[in-house]
């Protein structure tokens, strides 16, 4: 079977996707559409039938391609779905030997969908006789509208409403019906103005019961389309999490709070994360009376990182959209290092991709359980259980609490101690800066690229051989206008090696404006993850004289100052103005550093109030970050 549920054939090296076919059959197929990459066709005659072929129960099968497998015996559909999962895990994720269970059958093979989205044709269909507003579906290949009097996948209430609305919804192009199969509640959208429409429309929500609990579902919110199988999903997730009642559980894509509400009794604390404001409002109402559930509005990747910095996370439920988890969400999960993760997925390809990332991050796949949420179609839901190696979890806990600045510079160490607290550690990074910079420039790198390469090199060198901790590297460079180009173009100025270079640099900068770029890098020794950030400030230099330069260079201070000059030196005071982060010019921008550490879930805690630190207060962004970190 091909990826979209058709049987796959080939002619002259070009794939043919044959709708209505079964692998192994001999059929006569009619070409529906020819594209550059493939041919779409459909079966018009079966010459030699598969033993798995059955008569499709729907009269629209073939014209409407919403169901791909009505012609396949249901037992074989279940086998095909397991085969698809096995193949995709290996082909996309490179995951071999994974335990994939037989697909769990749906108790209803037809009439199971609680959600229908119809396209409305404004032209009368064949035999319509009632004017505009014909409800139906659009064929994926031909783009033809297919009028339907009923859809066999839909719950009875939806088909009743379809029959009553057929021919009366011409004022819209799309129409959605959602129904609570356990409550009788329903929602019809959009709001229809025609007085002949026999049903109330435009509702903002409907209600459904699941696991003995009522759930309010707003129109933008996601809810599983197969209610009976949704209850089985909850059971599988509960089994996979193996909670004891003492854990902190995170529902990372909470939707309307189904897992959070139904699993709350199994955990000490449940934190539900959802980026849809409408869904969060629903979820809060759905969890009313449950005291150990809290909701956070935001993206999973951001909320996970922040939560992991606050507390240990024991278990996580992932139920992302079809596109899967964002890379940052997976990284945050790996760093949070929960004991168990249960991943609910409706797309084997994105599941395979994400499982590859999680296994690379120290998780082990226990089993994959396919669940048939969508009988008669190619789609399959999967519930995957993952566990984390105990040693990996211990490394994670140590890594979370340990911050190390890879720098011997007294000024950087002083800034780090003030900003990150007395618990910050320091290490020396043995990097040949001139070699790294020269290689970067040879490869076309600009000032920012040079600074980033140096910062990464320092962080990597310090983290090498360490089991845990976040290692911070920093490097500051000056990007000065080229004198020859009269302001057009620039050159990178690094730390001077001797007095002659220091004099040359200070002369090149005086009376002109230049950029100071500090690059920051963090390497997590436990996971190998590394990321970089940077900050840019503009500095206008005053017209100091050669005598001042000579005296300053003789003092020796230019050789241990950011950008090889001491903007903070009160006696020489070379800068007339600084635009941007002042600490960036000094060598360690707290604003950029805090942002970078937050990506790793680290939340620094300064020991002293920030208002007593004038240099930090010169940058509003630094001051804001430090106040938040110190709780001021």
| Residue 346: active-site member | yes
In angstroms, the Cα distances linking 330 to 311, 341, 354, 585 are: 18, 11, 7, 34
Q: Return d(Cα 426, Cα 415) in angstroms, integer.
A: 12
Cβ density class 122-136: b for 16+ within 10 Å, e for less? eebbeeeeeeebbbb
Instruction: Strands of 376-507 (E only): list them.
Output: 381-388, 403-406, 425-427, 470-481, 490-493
Q: Return d(Cα 435, Cα 418) in angstroms, integer.
A: 32
Q: Which residues are 323's β-sheet partners? A: none
Residue 183 phi/psi, 5° resolution?
Answer: -125, -25
Tell which phi-psi region holds residue 94, choosing left (phi > 0), alpha (psi between -120 and 50) or beta: left
Q: Return d(Cα 30, Cα 27) in angstroms, integer.
A: 10
Contacts of 188 (CB under 8 A, 6+ apart): 161, 175, 176, 177, 199, 200, 201, 202, 203
Q: If we measure between CA atoms, which residue out of 393, 386, 374 comes closest to residue 344?
A: 386
Q: Return d(Cα 613, Cα 616) in angstroms, integer.
A: 6
Q: Which residues are 428's β-sheet partners? A: none
- Tell me the three-class secondary structure of 343-398, residue by residue: EEECCHHHHHHHHHHHHHCCEEEEEEEEECCCCCCCCCEEEEEEEECHHHHHHHHH
Q: State how far Cα 462 lies from the chain centre.
A: 30
Q: Which residues are 481's β-sheet partners? A: 490
Contact call for residues 181 and 227 (beta carbons, < 8 A): yes
Catalytic residue among 64, 67, 325, 346: 346
Find the angle CA(242)-CA(319)-CA(115) to the nearest 5 degrees: 120
Q: Return d(Cα 619, Cα 536) in angstroms, integer.
A: 12
Q: Return d(Cα 266, Cα 17) in angstroms, integer.
A: 47
Contacts of 173 (CB under 8 A, 6+ apart): 119, 120, 122
Find the angle CA(413)-CA(417)-CA(422) to the nearest 5 degrees: 135
Q: Which residues are 523's β-sheet partners? A: 471, 530
Residue 367 phi/psi, 5° resolution?
Answer: -160, 160
Q: Return d(Cα 129, Cα 120) in angstroms, integer.
A: 15
Residues annotated as part of the active site = 346
């Amino acid at each position: 079977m091909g990826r979209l549920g058709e049987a796959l054939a080939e002619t002259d090296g070009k794939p043919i996707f044959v709708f209505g076919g079964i692998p192994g059959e001999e059929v006569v197929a009619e070409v529906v559409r020819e594209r550059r990459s493939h041919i779409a066709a459909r079966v018009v005659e079966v010459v030699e039938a598969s033993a798995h072929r059955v008569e499709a129960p729907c009269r629209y099968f073939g014209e409407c391609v919403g169901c791909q497998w009505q012609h396949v015996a249901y037992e074989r559909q279940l086998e095909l779905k397991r085969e698809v999962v096995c193949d995709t895990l290996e082909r996309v994720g490179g995951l071999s030997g994974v335990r994939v269970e037989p697909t769990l059958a749906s108790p209803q093979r037809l009439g199971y969908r609680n959600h229908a989205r119809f396209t409305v044709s404004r032209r009368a269909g064949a035999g319509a006789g009632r004017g505009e507003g014909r409800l139906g579906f659009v064929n994926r290949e031909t783009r033809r509208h297919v009028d339907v009097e009923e859809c066999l996948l839909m719950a009875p209430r939806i088909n009743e409403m379809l029959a009553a609305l057929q021919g009366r919804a011409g004022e819209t192009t799309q129409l959605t019906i959602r129904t609570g199969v356990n409550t009788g509640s329903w929602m019809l959208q959009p709001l229809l103005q025609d007085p002949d429409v026999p049903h109330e429309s435009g509702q903002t929500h409907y209600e459904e019961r699941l696991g003995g609990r009522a759930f309010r579902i707003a129109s933008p919110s996601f809810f599983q389309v197969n209610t009976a199988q949704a209850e089985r999903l909850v059971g599988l997730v509960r089994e996979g999490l193996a909670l004891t009642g003492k854990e902190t559980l995170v529902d990372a894509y909470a939707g309307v709070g189904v897992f959070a509400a139904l699993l709350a009794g199994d955990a000490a604390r449940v934190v539900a994360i959802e980026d849809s404001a409408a869904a969060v409002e629903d979820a809060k109402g759905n969890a009313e009376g449950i005291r150990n559930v809290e909701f956070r509005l935001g993206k999973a990747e951001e909320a996970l990182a922040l939560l992991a910095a606050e507390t240990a996370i024991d278990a996580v439920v992932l139920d992302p959209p079809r596109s899967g988890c964002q890379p940052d969400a997976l990284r945050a999960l790996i760093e949070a290092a929960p004991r168990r993760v249960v991943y609910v997925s409706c797309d084997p390809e994105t599941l395979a991709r994400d499982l590859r990332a999680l296994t690379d991050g120290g998780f082990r796949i226990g089993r994959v359980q396919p669940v048939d949420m969508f009988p008669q179609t190619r789609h399959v839901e999967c519930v995957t259980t993952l566990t984390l190696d105990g040693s990996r979890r211990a490394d994670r806990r140590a890594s979370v609490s340990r911050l190390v600045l890879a720098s011997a510079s007294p000024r950087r160490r002083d800034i780090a101690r003030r900003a990150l607290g007395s618990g910050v550690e320091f290490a020396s990074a043995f990097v040949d800066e001139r070699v790294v910079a020269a290689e970067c420039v040879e490869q076309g790198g600009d000032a920012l690229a040079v600074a980033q390469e140096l910062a990464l090199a320092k962080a990597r060198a310090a983290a090498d051989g360490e089991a845990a901790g976040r290692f911070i590297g920093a490097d500051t460079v000056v990007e000065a206008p080229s004198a020859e180009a009269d302001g057009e173009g620039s050159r990178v100025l690094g730390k001077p090696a001797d007095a002659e270079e220091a004099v040359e640099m200070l002369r090149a900068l005086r009376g002109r404006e230049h950029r100071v770029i500090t690059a920051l890098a963090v390497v997590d020794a436990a996971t190998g993850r590394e990321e970089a950030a940077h900050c840019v400030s503009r500095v206008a230099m005053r017209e100091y004289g050669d005598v001042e330069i000579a005296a300053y260079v003789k003092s020796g201070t230019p050789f241990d100052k950011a950008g090889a000059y001491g903007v903070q030196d009160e006696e020489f005071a070379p800068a007339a103005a600084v635009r941007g982060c002042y600490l960036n010019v000094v060598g360690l921008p707290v604003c950029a550093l805090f942002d970078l550490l937050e990506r790793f879930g680290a939340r620094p805690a300064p020991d002293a109030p920030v208002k007593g630190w004038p240099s930090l207060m010169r940058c509003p962004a630094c001051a804001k970050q430090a106040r938040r970190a110190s709780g001021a």
